[in-house]
Amino acid sequence: MIVIVKPQAPQEKVNEFIQWIESQNFKTHVSTGDYSTIIGLIGDTSRLQEDQLLSYDIVEAVKKVTEPFKQANRKFHPHDTIVPVGDSGLKIGHGNFAMIAGPCSVESEEQVIGIAKLVKQAGATMLRGGAFKPRTSPYDFQGLKADGIKFLLEAKQETGLPIVSEIMNINHLPLFEDVDVIQVGARNMQNFELLRELGKTNKPILLKRGLANTIKELLMSAEYIMSGGNENVILCERGIRTFETTTRNTLDLSAVPVLHELTHLPVIVDPSHATGVARYVKPMAMAAAACGADGLIIEVHNDPIHALCDGAQSLLPEQFADVAGAVNAIRIAAGSAR
């Protein structure tokens, strides 16, 4: 950690500050320039709050040198993590590509089993479906809840596809016992109480980036889960909030190579929620595959017009088959070009 001292700081105040730092068991290195003095702090600075240092009147700025995430950090864990999905044999990461598809909401037993069969045939390796739905309005459909999970499990039974579904309340955890991957939605990315409890399970967690969260905050949220002992975290880029209005959010695909550099965890992309428009899903899915994503999560509905949520961004099963084929072609080309 580096502390930059204000130009006019009186020397005695600087000395006092250095004494305090050293009393906290840090070593210091001081560089004095024409315009400013710089103090390097050596030691485990993860114990120190930037704010504490900034409170000293003589301090102009504080710069962290080492990243605050440890377990998620590729520096300390250079090899790609491969997340195993249930007892299905399916894996995600390090070349294992996840093609997750399914309806936004589970609406009925027939619906979800029907879609599951179709997406499996079209190339999906996992089934997604929402049983508990985070909706901006309390008056919108909130999901079938326990019944939704039940129908998903039936679809899993029928098709063999592992399932992923979103949790919104830690008290619902018992319902997720047979769910293969538990999703934490964008709005709960910094619901630290939920993350901490999921860290105590051994379930793979699909952690979506919040709409206004930086890549480093996403990694800190992964760290919450991992610091509890659960290393099976899958990160998901799903668009961030910007001023642009032609798409629901702005898909930040640069996050894929940036995350691959900073962390060993797998990174997947959700083009459906990011764009909010079905006809942009194919090009963005292809782009995600081209820049190295470890998987995709795509909304598919057999009857988008009558879907109870997010119909505008859902593909028909035959459209999904077309996307899956295109993504496959891109992955082959990208793989040999890498």
Q: Could you say whether residue 68 binds a copy of itself (CB under 8 A)? A: yes
Least distance (Å) between residue 87 CB and a copy of itself: 29
| Chosen residue from 10, 42, 94, 147 binding a copy of itself by CB under 8 A | 42
Pick between residue 159 and residue 313 the one whose CB is nearest to a copy of itself.
Answer: 313
Least distance (Å) between residue 188 CB and a copy of itself: 7
Residues 6+ apart with CB under 8 A from 19: none
Q: Could you say whether residue 146 binds a copy of itself (CB under 8 A)? A: no
| Chosen residue from 10, 19, 54, 95 binding a copy of itself by CB under 8 A | 54
**Start-to-end CA span in the chain (Å):** 36
Q: Which residues make beta-bridge pairs with 17?
A: none
Q: Could you say whether residue 289 binds a copy of itself (CB under 8 A)? A: yes
Report the run of H or E that residue 171 belongs to, with start and end: none
Contacts (CB under 8 A) with a copy of itself, residues 229-258: 240-247, 250-258
Q: Which of 4, 26, 27 has its CA nearest to residue 14?
A: 4
* Integer Cα distance of 293 and 235 in angstroms: 10
Distances (CA, A) of 20 to 13, 23, 38, 54, 280: 11, 5, 16, 14, 56
How many beta carbons lie within 10 A of that of residue 288, not counting itself?
25
**Contact (Cβ atoms closer than 8 angstroms) between residue 165 and residue 128:** yes
* Integer Cα distance of 248 and 254 in angstroms: 18
Q: Could you say whether residue 58 binds a copy of itself (CB under 8 A)? A: no
Least distance (Å) between residue 338 CB and a copy of itself: 7
| Chosen residue from 111, 188, 263, 302 binding a copy of itself by CB under 8 A | 188
Contacts (CB under 8 A) with a copy of itself, residues 253-282: 253-258, 261-262, 274-275, 279-280
Q: Could you say whether residue 65 binds a copy of itself (CB under 8 A)? A: yes
Q: Could you say whether residue 227 binds a copy of itself (CB under 8 A)? A: yes
| Chosen residue from 109, 170, 173, 201 binding a copy of itself by CB under 8 A | 170
E strand spans, 122-204: 126-128, 163-166, 181-184
Least distance (Å) between residue 24 CB and a copy of itself: 11
Q: Which of 167, 187, 185, 162 has its CA nearest to residue 101?
A: 162
Least distance (Å) between residue 315 CB and a copy of itself: 11
Q: 292-310: b or e for each residue (b if 16 or more CB lie within 10 Å)? A: bbbbbbbbbbbebeebbbb
Q: Could you say whether residue 173 binds a copy of itself (CB under 8 A)? A: no
Contacts (CB under 8 A) with a copy of itself, residues 192-211: 192-193, 196, 210-211
Pick between residue 161 and residue 198 the one whose CB is nearest to a copy of itself.
Answer: 198
Least distance (Å) between residue 274 CB and a copy of itself: 7
Contacts (CB under 8 A) with a copy of itself, residues 98-137: 134-137
E strand spans, 19-171: 27-32, 37-42, 59-63, 83-85, 90-92, 98-102, 126-128, 163-166
Least distance (Å) between residue 102 CB and a copy of itself: 17
Pick between residue 86 and residue 173 the one whose CB is nearest to a copy of itself.
Answer: 173
